[in-house]
Chain A
Amino acid sequence: DVKVTQSSRYLVKRTGEKVFLECVQDMDHENMFWYRQDPGLGLRLIYFSYDVKMKEKGDIPEGYSVSREKKERFSLILESASTNQTSMYLCASTPDGNSPLHFGNGTRLTVT
């Protein structure tokens, strides 16, 4: 079974802090994604990556950056956390564009 592991299940940070959300997958998948999910807004794509050191902006990249130094690891960075970034963050991976996404357990981030 594919395993996508997100480093934290719950996280509380203060406004202005730099926040790192880590995601690791163990199936040698090429493609990795970061989403956020808010009530009534569904899943929104923040950033994705099709290869090591490669990144593409999704639909809502403002206020975020990413890093993919190794194939199995995709990190989401909140440069200066704000209260409107309080959300559920979901990492996912897939081997190719026609295969389903496999999601991690999610990180519930609260910014106070």
Chain B
Amino acid sequence: QKEVEQNSGPLSVPEGAIASLNCTYSDRGSQSFFWYRQYSGKSPELIMSIYSNGDKEDGRFTAQLNKASQYVSLLIRDSQPSDSATYLCAVNGNTGKLIFGQGTTLQVKP
């Protein structure tokens, strides 16, 4: 089992819809969870951090964390074509290093 798992996609949603990206992790001791957005040919850009159970909202983005079920998700409301990118889930492992998922490719169609 991979330490951090994401569906590679592509996830295709129409413009204006809600995109839901999911991530599961294996280390129950993980404390920090991050979502990065990566455009093709560019480096990852941090868009959300979440440290405690529940929801955290920032503009059109909402991160949701459920430590009991070991999953973290990212919701993007009112999806725009400019949101088309690969979204990386990252979780801090038991060695203090961040463990990255393989990423989910999101396509927002006009």
Please report A residues at the B interface, Cβ cutoff 8 Å: 33, 42-43, 45, 48, 58, 90, 94, 96-106, 108
Contact = CB atoms under 8 A, between A and B. Distances in A.
Contacts of A90: 43-44
Contact of B43 (A42, A97, A100, A104): A104
Contacts of B41: 108
Contacts of A48: 97
Interface core residue of B45, B51, B88, B92 (most chain A CB under 10 Å): B92
Contacts, number: 45
Contacts of B44: 43, 90, 101, 103
Interface in B82-110: 88, 90, 92, 96-98, 100-103
Nearest to A97: B96
B32 A106 contact: no
Interface of B is mostly: loop
Given A104-B43, A106-B43, A98 B31 contact: yes
Given A33-B97, A98-B32, A106-B43, 18 more contacts: A43-B88, A58-B97, A94-B98, A97-B32, A97-B92, A98-B31, A98-B51, A98-B92, A99-B32, A100-B46, A100-B98, A101-B34, A101-B46, A101-B98, A102-B46, A103-B44, A104-B43, A105-B42
Interface residues of B, number: 21
28 contacts: A33-B97, A42-B100, A42-B101, A42-B102, A43-B44, A43-B88, A43-B100, A45-B97, A48-B97, A58-B97, A90-B43, A90-B44, A96-B96, A97-B92, A97-B96, A98-B32, A98-B92, A100-B34, A100-B90, A101-B34, A101-B44, A101-B98, A103-B44, A105-B42, A105-B43, A106-B42, A106-B43, A108-B41
Contacts of B92: 97-98
B7 interface: no
